[in-house]
Chain A
Amino acid sequence: MAWYHETLSALGALFGRARQEREMDEEMAFHIEMETRRLVESGLGAGEARRRAMSTFGGVARHKDEVRDERGTSWLRDGWSDVRFAMRSLRRRPGFTSVAVVTLALGIGATTALFGVVKQVLLTPLPYRSPESLVMVWSAWKGFDQTWLSYDEWEGWRARVRAFADIGLFSEGSANFDGDEPERVRMALVQANVFPILGVQPIIGRNFTAQEDTPNGPRVVILGYRLWQRRFGGDPSVVGRDVRISGEATTVVGVMPADFRLPMDFGADGRTEAWFPMATDAAQNGALPGPEFPRGGASHGYHAVARLAPGMTAADANAQLRSLVAELEQWGYMANVGFHAYTVPLEEQITGRVRPVLLVVFGAVGLVLLIACANVAGLLLVRGEARRRELAVRVALGAGSGRLQRLLLTESAVLVAAGGALGIALAWGGVRLVRAAAPASLPRVADSTIDGEVLIFALVAAFVAALMAGMLPALHTARLAPAGELKEGGRGSTSGAARLRWRQALVVAEVALAVVLVTAAGLMIRSVRNLLAIDSGFDAGHVLTMRISTPSAFYPDSVSVAGFWDELQRRVAAVPGVEAVGAVRLLPLATEMGDWGLQVEGYTPPPNQGTPGDWQVVTPGYFEAMSLDMIEGRRFDARDDMGGTLAMIVNRTFVQQYIGARHALGTQVRINGSDSTAAYTIVGVVDDVHHDALVGKVKPEFYVTLAQFARAPGSTRRSMSLVVRSDGDPDALVGPVRSAVRAIDPRLPISEVRTMRDIVNTSIGGPRFAMQALGIFGVLALALSAIGIFGIVSQVVASRAHEFGVRAALGATPGELLRLSLRAGVKQAAVGLAVGIVAALLATRVLSSLLQGVTATDPVTFVAVVAVTGLVAVAASVGPARRGARTDPARVLGSS
């Protein structure tokens, strides 16, 4: 029952406060009056009696406080009056208040925004049923660390790897949605078991049936949610209807949920938006039916996703695959190429590469928050300094020291609340910025939002910030002794030495943390510069690219396709500002390339190894448009058309591996699958182009023209990227080039309009993102530390004004005084710098995996950091130090 009474009494007390106050006053007045009377009766003078009576009561104010405390509402009412008091006193110091609030807002905002990203990418489960038991299955052999599966392997693993409950294949491509507004859409072919393996159902309609997933089955499609909204206005009746896709009537059987993606769509630049049944079998793949393997090799072209059987782990699956592969190699399948097969848990597959980047950036933002808190703590300390007299008077008047601490904590809480609110607004903007700026190669980052959980994080961050920033100043006040304080008098005295040391420690910590951040940023900047300095083999500046497809419904044969490209290039070349134009099968750094088996004259591969070459199909203008460097021979030209002699250009690595010291020009190369009479002659050698990634080994690569590729091996490339070199801003060409395409054939969809520069940047998205984030945080950290240094020099100069005055009077020059005051800031900065360098040497190791061409202890970076931090420290100190140097002895000494 006690709690009940207490609550009632507390409520009653709260509401009847005025009455209670009156009663308390009256009761005390009565007490003092009676006590005075008693003392007078005992023989004291009236005045003395009253004084004595009062003194037995102690400070009247404190006494009332304590009675109120006993009534149980004081915390509430005091809290509110503390808040009002804090707001009043903060308003009186707008400069201090805005610096503190903005500092906190930056710290809390940046941390919250980054948490929003981290939560989305690393903490939110993938949109599949039990994603933890899903794995991607890969093959690998010499030169290929992670490549696709063959049909035989799929059949074999499905039948013989017990760790898999099921395994399904999919592959990617694109499709034209015809109509008034034709659209090129990224699509995937999936086996009927892929969606069930992922555990995702269409939201309307149904999955593919086994019958639909057979060769020559009915033409059906499942739509992605966004495509469904975009092209069909979200009309549910589209299910069951026929739509025209790439010229063929296709029945829509279902629509997938909005957040659905295939595993490889995370991190790709563009997700698949329509799914067709794979509808293939062993015969179509040239594979043996059932879990049988041929001797020799096989064509590898399928992604595979598997669900682990209950109780099985990815490690179990890998062990079973290992023993199975050992057995197959004995038998002669993929022998002598170091073939192996393995699984990667889906989560690791999708977020594995981005995880270290995000963790580094999140750690960095945590340091920024720490610096912000240290800075505000420092500001509060200074403020406490200025208010010591005020606070001492309050203590002397009877305010309890607990009450004072509460007052100060409230003040920092009010600051943090304002900073937190502003910070959440910043975080909201920050997340939008990250979403816009994040390269597509960082999976899931673009889906980041500020939701309830992120807001809770912001509140926790703000609470921690309030504690960290407010604790130190509050503890200081606990030791406030009014007698000493008031005795010290009006002049700034040296008794603040202990407090100054605390501030100095804070500034040292700030500078040290800033040094760690700036070092990390410096390393990333160097690293990204190194990446960009790698000779990619092409010139990415001023190049515009776009993907154009020529469906067989409109362009039945290779002659019509070649005709279209000739006409398009002629028109584009005539656009003002265009320097060169060409087309290519796959843009470098945009899509990884597979290889094609070759026979090179005079080259015999080791047993059981082929002569693979990455195959590139181009139009003659491509080499000029990309500024590829020829090592010898010639580029393609008008000779290399459909009727001309078959001509091939190979890269430097091709020559090194397959031709060696012999003459490359004139060497005959046959592409497997071609007519036995069709041999290409090498007419040129081009420098290596880094196709799959900027770092890593270049593979042998060959180029043939679009027109001649149709002759041998005899297939028509229906999808090509147009490459346009501009003499100015490539983006300015988008409109004119689009018009040129429309003028020839308005039915053709254009997709993936990008500059080559964007493609390069996207390919190094992780390091670039880390560089940008660390760069921003590093600058922020330096700025905050500069504020800290500025503050401490100001304080030192102010507190030593008297001493400076004496020195000036004794003949010290302004230059000497300037040095003296500068020393105050530079000394802390130097200590912070030293501590920070040691910390950075330890901390930057976590960056190792992101670095390219620099070590985590790169001396150039460290020297630069020392220089930059030193400059900032001096710059921040100069302003207040000059005030110190101008100390006017007459004024300072006259006032004492």
Chain B
Amino acid sequence: MAPDPRPDQRSEVLQGTLEMLALKLLAAEPMHGWGLSLELRRISGDVFDVNQGSLYPALQKMLRRRWIRAEWRATENNRRARYYSITREGRKQLEAEIADWERTSGAVNRVLRYALQGG
């Protein structure tokens, strides 16, 4: 594995976006917290550095809202870990957030395009 990029080249995941990304990953398969953090970093091409300080509280919050649930299971290496999986409510929330995201980013893109043409 390549050495970590220098920290200041990474951006912090936006608070709201972190929940959406985590839900998206959990929608594919149940994962433990560490796996989730690894996956987030990998998929984003190391752009997103998920501060563990934000990930676990976010998971805790989503648990409380019943978007995800947690259970203790053995890993493939036979270690005990806490696995999170998405609930029905979580899927609904994910869809809502994706729709919201697309609306917002679409709007931002249109503004940028307009600004570039106009400028």
* A residues apposed to B, CB below 8 Å: 2, 5-6, 9, 23, 26-28, 30-31, 33-35, 38, 41-43, 56-58, 62-63, 66-67, 69-72
Helix, strand, loop or mixed for chain A's interface? helix
**B60-A70 in contact (CB<8A):** yes
20 A-B interface contacts by CB (under 8 A): A2-B65, A5-B64, A5-B66, A6-B64, A27-B56, A27-B81, A30-B32, A30-B81, A31-B33, A35-B34, A38-B1, A38-B38, A56-B51, A57-B52, A62-B53, A63-B52, A63-B56, A66-B57, A71-B64, A72-B64
Q: Is there a chain A Cβ closer than 8 Å to B3's Cβ?
A: yes
Residues of B within 8 A of A33 (CB): 79
Please provide the chain B residues from 47 to 76 with a CB less than 8 Å away from any CB of chain A in the complex: 51-53, 56-58, 60-61, 63-66, 72
Q: How many angstroms from the CA of A28 to the CA of B33 in the assembled complex?
A: 9
B1-24, CB under 8 A of A: which get 1 and which 0?
Answer: 111000000000000000000000
Smallest CB separation, B60 vs chain A (Å): 4
The count of residues in chain B whose C-beta lies closer than 8 Å to any C-beta of chain A is 25
Contact check, B81 vs A42: say whether CB atoms are below 8 A apart.
Answer: no
What separation, in Å, do the CA atoms of A24 and B53 have in the docked complex? Answer: 13
- A residues in contact with B57, CB < 8 Å: 66-67, 69-70
B91 within 8 A of A: no
B72: chain A residues at CB < 8 Å are 23
Contact between A57 and B53 (Cβ–Cβ < 8 Å)? yes
Residue on A with the closest CB to B82? A27
B64 and A9 within 8 A (CB): yes
Q: Which residue in chain A gives the minimum CB-CB distance to B38? A: A38
Residues of B within 8 A of A43 (CB): 3
Q: Are A30 and B52 also in contact (CB < 8 A) when A42-B1, A70-B60 are?
A: no
A26 touches B52 (CB 8 A): no
Q: Which residues of A contact B63 (CB under 8 A)?
A: 9
The minimal Cβ–Cβ distance linking A13 to chain B, given in whole angstroms, is 9
Contact partners of A69 in chain B: CB under 8 A: 57
Question: Which A residues touch B51, using CB under 8 A?
Answer: 56, 58
- Which A residues are in CB contact (< 8 Å) with B61? 70
Contact of B60 among A5, A35, A71 (CB under 8 A): A71
Minimum distance in angstroms from A830 CB to a CB of chain B: 52
When distances are taken between beta carbons in the complex, the residues of chain B under 8 Å from A57 are 52-53
Complex contacts, A70 vs chain B, CB 8 Å? 57-58, 60-61, 64
Distance of A300 from chain B, by nearest CB (Å): 82
**A5 adjacent to B65 (CB under 8 Å):** yes
Chain A nearest CB, measured from B85 CB (Å) = 15
Q: A42: which B residues are within 8 A, CB to CB? A: 1-3
A67 CA to B57 CA in the complex, in Å?
5
Chain B: CB-nearest residue to A8: B64
B72 to chain A, nearest CB (A): 8
Known: A38-B38, A70-B61, A71-B60. 12 other contacts (CB 8 A): A5-B64, A6-B64, A27-B33, A27-B81, A30-B32, A30-B34, A31-B37, A31-B52, A33-B79, A43-B3, A67-B56, A70-B58
Residue of B nearest to A52 (CB): B4
Contact B53 A66 (CB under 8 A): yes
Chain A residues with CB under 8 Å of B34's CB are: 30-31, 34-35
Chain B min CB distance to A395 (Å): 16
Question: Which residues of chain A are within 8 angstroms of B32 by Cβ–Cβ distance?
Answer: 30
| Shortest Cβ distance from residue B39 to the other chain A in the assembled complex, whole angstroms | 12
Which chain A residues border B2 with CB–CB below 8 Å? 42
Minimum CB–CB distance from A501 to chain B (whole Å) comes to 37
**Residues in A neighbouring B3, C-beta threshold 8 A:** 42-43
A30 to B31, CA, bound (A): 13
Contacts of A35 in B (CB 8 A): 34
Closest 5 CB pairs of A and B: A70-B60, A70-B57, A34-B34, A58-B53, A42-B1
Please report the C-alpha to C-alpha distance between residue A67 and residue B2 in the assembled complex, in whole angstroms.
31
Given contacts A41-B1, A56-B51, A69-B57, contact A30 B64 (CB under 8 A): no
Task: With a 10 A CB-CB cut-off, give which of A2, A58, A67 has the most chain B CB atoms.
Answer: A67
Q: Which residues from A are CB-within-8-Å of B64?
A: 5-6, 9, 70-72
Inter-chain CA distance A41–B2, complex, in Å, is: 11
Across-interface contacts of A30 in B (CB, < 8 A)? 32-34, 79-82
* CA gap between A23 and B82 in the complex, in Å: 9
Q: How far is the CA of A35 from the CA of B41 in the complex (A)?
A: 13
Q: How far in angstroms is the closest Cβ of chain B from A285?
A: 86
Q: Which residues of A contact B33 (CB under 8 A)?
A: 27, 30-31
Chain B residues whose CB sits within 8 angstroms of the CB of A62 once the complex forms: 53
- Which residue of A has the minimal Cβ distance to B7? A56
A59: shortest Cβ distance to chain B, in Å?
9
Bound form: Cα–Cα A9–B70 in Å: 14
In the complex, A72 Cα to B57 Cα: how many Å? 11
Shortest C-beta distance, B90 to chain A (Å), equals: 13
Residue of A nearest to B62 (CB): A70
Closest residue on chain A to residue B3 by CB atoms: A42
Residue in chain B with minimal CB distance to A12? B64
Whole-angstrom distance between the alpha carbons of A178 and B63 in the complex?
Answer: 86
Whole-angstrom distance between the Cβ of A769 and the nearest chain B Cβ: 60
Q: How far is the CB of A28 from chain B (nearest CB, A)?
A: 8
- A6 to B58, alpha carbons, bound, how many Å? 15
Complex CA–CA separation, A23 to B60 (angstroms)? 12
Measured between alpha carbons, how far is A27 from B1 in the docked complex, in Å? 25
CB distance from A528 to the nearest CB of B (A): 67
